[in-house]
Structure 1
Amino acid sequence: MALRAGLGSRRRRGALALAAALLAAGLPLTGCTAAGTPQPSIAAGSTAGPTSGMTPASAPLETSQTSAKAPVYWLGRARDGVYLYREFRDADSRDNPIATALRIMMSQKPLDPHYFSPWQSPKKLAASVSGRNYITVDVSDDAFNTGVDEPTAQLAVQQLVYTATAAAASSGLVDAGQPISVMLLVDGRTSQLAFQRVQLGQLMQRDPSMIAPVWIIDPQEGSRLKGSLKVFGRATQPDKPFAWQVLRHDAQGNRSVYVSGTVTSGHDAGHVGEFTFAVNLPPGDYEVRILPAEDASPSATSSTSAWDSKSFTITG
C-alpha cells in the first residue's frame, strides 16, 4: 500500500492527541534542544554518493500517514556506491514514534537483504521535539560501531537524520512545510565523535546527495501478492526514464527475465519523481528490479546492476 496521504487538520488533531498521550506516559516530545542552540547546518557529504550523473534534485519529506508504520532508512549497496533507502516497518503507535523508528534502525535487520545498518543496539535512546522543528536524539555511546570507514560513518549519521525526520513528519509531530533539524547527543553531551569519525555538535538537516536516486516503495521485500504485481516507486529526479524487469525463479533457484519494460518518473505537483506500473503474473516466486534505461538488456540479471530490487511471491 502506497502511503501518500496529505497532512490535514484531522491528522494534526490526531498528532496533538498522540503527543498528549506520550507526554502522559512520560515520553519526551517537547523541549530538549542542545545548550547554546547552534545554527542549523547540513552534515558533510560522502564519497559514497552518486557518481554516474544522477545528482538528486531533492530529498522529499514523508507525509502524514493513517497507519502505524514506522519509516526507517537503511544503507544499501547498488550499482556505483552506497545510498540511503527506506522501508516501512510495523510499530506500536502508542510509543514515541521517533524513538521507535530509531530503535528499529539500530536494533533490527532490514527486510531487504541488500540493505544494512552500521548502528548497534544502544542501552539508552531518547528523542524529543521542540516547537521550532528541532529534533533532539540522545543515544549512549555503545550505539556506534567503531569499525566503519569515513564514508560509511557519514552515511550512518544521515541515516539517523532521515529516519528521525521521517518519523516526526509522518506522525504529524512537526510542521512538514518548514525545515526540520536534528541534534544528535551522545550520553547527553554535544561535540562528540560519531563512530569516532564524524564531528557532532551542530544541528543537521537532510543531505540530498545521500539518498538513493530511485527506490521501490511497494511492494516491500518478501511480500505475498494475489494475481498481479503493482509497483510504486520514487526517483529524486522528475521525467527520468528507467527500465524495469520482473525475474522469475524456477524450482532450481535459477532466475530469468520473465517480462520487462520502461517507466518514467512523474513531474506533477505533489507527485514529483513518483512512478508506477502493473503486471499480471501467474503464481510463483519473482524479483522486480529498477535499472537505468540503458541497462535494459534481457541478459542483465545481476542485482549489482540495479538501483533497487524486491523479491515477492504471487499466490493463486
Structure 2
Amino acid sequence: MPKTAAPHRGCRAAGARALVLAALLAAAPALAGCIADAGPSPTGTLVTVPAATGTAPSTSAPLETTQSSNKAPVYWIGRSDADVFLYREFRDVPEQENPVTRALRSMMSDKPLDPDFFTPWQNPGKLATSISGKDVITVDVSEDAFNSNLDADMAVRAIQQLVYTATAAAASSGLIDAGQQIRVRILVDGHTDYVAFGHVRLGALMTRTAGLVAPVWIIDPQENVEVAGGSVKITGRSTTAGGKLRWQILRSAGNGQAEPFLTGETTASAEQGQAGVFTLALTLPAGDYELRVAQAGSGGGPDQYEDTRSFKVR
C-alpha cells in the first residue's frame, strides 16, 4: 500500500490486504437498494454532489491525451498516509465494446495489477455508455454494481473513480475533446436520483473533483511488468509542480529480502503542459526491484505520500 514506513512489499500478505480492505469497507450503513424516489430515504449521511457548471475547475489531474495504444485507463482506490486517493493503471481489455464501456467494465469486474489498490464496485449485469455533443458522457449501469457497504467519504471516492475512468477512456481514445471540461451523468437502470452506496445522489452532471488523485503517482513501469535491461525509464506525476521528490530502488537479494540499491532526488516539472511530471532514466542489471517515490518533507519533516511499484529487469 502506498506508505511512508520502510517495510517492503514482502510484508503485504494476502490476509493483511484483506483486513485492510475490510476495514475500509466496513462500518457503513447498508446500501440503499432502490431508486431514491421509489422507496424510503436512505440511512446515514446523504452527500449532495454539486452539479457541473460551464467553468472548468482547477484540478491536479489533467485529462488524459489521445494515445495510439488500445489499453484502457482505469482508476482504482488506494490509501496513502491517512488519506485515500485515486490511482491509474492501463489495462488490456477486450475490444467488443466502446472504449468507455470497456474501461468501466474493467474497473467494476477486474482486480488492480497493484495489490495496494482496490475497487468497491461489483461486476454489473448491465452497463452501457454514450456520448452526446462533445462534452457529456452518460453511463447507465444496473443496480447490482453498488452492492458494497461504504461510508460517505468512500462512496464519494467510488463515484469519482467512475467519473475519472469514464473521462480518461473517452479522452485517451479521442472520442471527446480533451481541451474542455467533460461531464458525466450516471443513470441506474435508466433512472436518475438513485442514491449510490446509500450516500451519493446521482443524476446531475458531474466532473472530476480536484484533489482526489494521489499526490505522488508512479505511472511506468506498471506493477510486476518485465522491462529490458540497461536504461530503464521511470515516469510519474506529482500534484506539486516543481516539488522535490525522493526515490529509492530496492533489489531482491534472493532470500525474500529487499536491499537498497539506488537512491536519489528529482524535481517534478513546472512547465506548462508537463506540470508535475517526473522522469528517471536508470541503468539496472537483471533482477527483481521495488521502486519507492515520495514527496520530500519540508523543513526537515518526514517524506510524504510514498507510492511503490514492483517490477522485473530481464
Q: After TM superposition, is the score higher than 0.5?
A: yes
2:238 matched to which residue of 1? 235
CA distance in 2, matches of 1:78, 1:253: 25
Give matches, 1:1-316, under 5 Å. Answer: 40-41=51-52, 58-93=60-95, 95-227=97-229, 228-294=231-297, 306-315=305-314
Deviation track 1:245-266 (CA, whole Å, cap 9, x = no partner) reads: 1011222211222111011110
CA distance in 2, matches of 1:306, 1:40: 30
Quick one: percent identity of the two aligned structures?
52
CA distance in 2, matches of 1:234, 1:281: 22
Corresponding residue SS for 1:205 = coil
CA distance in 2, matches of 1:305, 1:111: 23
Corresponding residue SS for 2:157 = helix
Q: CA deviation at 1:41?
A: 2.5
Deviation track 1:33-52 (CA, whole Å, cap 9, x = no partner) reads: xxxxxx9428xxxxxxxxxx
Q: Which amino acid aligns with 1:311?
A: S
Residues 71 and 88, structure 1, Cα contact 8 Å, conserved in 2: yes
Residues 40 and 181, structure 1, Cα contact 8 Å, conserved in 2: no
Distance 1:124-1:91 versus aligned 2 partners, 3 A rule: same
Q: Which structure 2 residue ranges, 5 or more long, are not aligned?
A: 1-49
Corresponding residue SS for 2:163 = helix
Q: CA deviation at 1:57?
A: 5.2
Q: Which structure 1 residue ranges, 5 or more long, are not aligned?
A: 1-38, 43-55
Residues 291 and 307, structure 1, Cα contact 8 Å, conserved in 2: yes
CA distance in 1, matches of 2:281, 2:147: 41
Corresponding residue SS for 2:249 = strand
Residues 243 and 268, structure 2, Cα contact 8 Å, conserved in 1: yes
Deviation track 1:164-195 (CA, whole Å, cap 9, x = no partner) reads: 00000111111111110000011111011111
Corresponding residue SS for 2:78 = strand
Q: CA deviation at 1:132?
A: 4.2
Q: Which amino acid aligns with 1:138?
A: D
Distance 1:167-1:131 versus aligned 2 partners, 3 A rule: same
Q: Which amino acid aligns with 1:41?
A: A
Q: CA deviation at 1:134?
A: 0.6
Distance 1:57-1:163 versus aligned 2 partners, 3 A rule: closer
Residues 57 and 236, structure 1, Cα contact 8 Å, conserved in 2: no
CA distance in 1, matches of 2:178, 2:93: 21
CA distance in 2, matches of 1:58, 1:149: 24
Q: CA deviation at 1:270?
A: 1.9
Corresponding residue SS for 1:123 = coil
2:21 matched to which residue of 1? none
Q: CA deviation at 1:286?
A: 0.6
Q: Which amino acid aligns with 1:198?
A: V
Q: What CA RMSD, in Å, does the superposition of the two structures yield over aligned residues?
A: 2.2
2:29 matched to which residue of 1? none
Deviation track 1:263-303 (CA, whole Å, cap 9, x = no partner) reads: 111022221111101211221111001112139x9xx9xxx
Deviation track 1:79-98 (CA, whole Å, cap 9, x = no partner) reads: 23110000001124453000
CA distance in 2, matches of 1:223, 1:146: 31
Could you state the TM-score of these two structures normalised by the residue count of structure 2? 0.78
CA distance in 1, matches of 2:101, 2:159: 15
CA distance in 2, matches of 1:103, 1:257: 39
Corresponding residue SS for 1:129 = strand
Q: CA deviation at 1:152?
A: 1.0
Aligned length: 259
CA distance in 1, matches of 2:244, 2:162: 30
CA distance in 2, matches of 1:204, 1:107: 23
CA distance in 1, matches of 2:220, 2:234: 5
Corresponding residue SS for 1:307 = strand
Distance 1:237-1:292 versus aligned 2 partners, 3 A rule: closer
Q: Which amino acid aligns with 2:213?
A: I
